[in-house]
Amino acid sequence: MTFDNARGSALESAAALDVLVAKSRCSGEEVLSGKDRLWSVVSMRVGLIQANSDYRLQEGNPG
């Protein structure tokens, strides 16, 4: 999974939670724990992707 795919999946999942709220299936408070968990998992995956990437920015290299 690439960084863009991880980000896209996160946006889709967050949007699904927002749809549940918009359709009054859940309250905003009920989806907060799901969004927090989603943020944590996606942050971890992005970190793993970056750590194992063939291309890494090294200190001192212009971005």
For residues 13 and 38, is the Cβ–Cβ distance under 8 A?
yes
**Residue 25, in any domain of the structure:** yes
- Could you read off the pLDDT tens digit of each residue along the chain, which spans 63 residues? 555 676 677 778 889 999 999 999 999 999 999 989 888 888 888 788 778 776 655 555 555
Task: Pick left, alpha or beta for residue 24 (phi over 0 → left; psi -120 to 50 → alpha; otherwise beta).
Answer: left
Domain that holds residue 33: 3-42
Q: At CA 42, angle to CA 37 and CA 46, rounded to 5?
A: 155
Distance CA 35, CA 37 (A): 5
**Residue 13, in any domain of the structure:** yes
**Residue 16, in any domain of the structure:** yes
Task: Pick left, alpha or beta for residue 53 (phi over 0 → left; psi -120 to 50 → alpha; otherwise beta).
Answer: beta
Look up the pTM and report it. 0.61
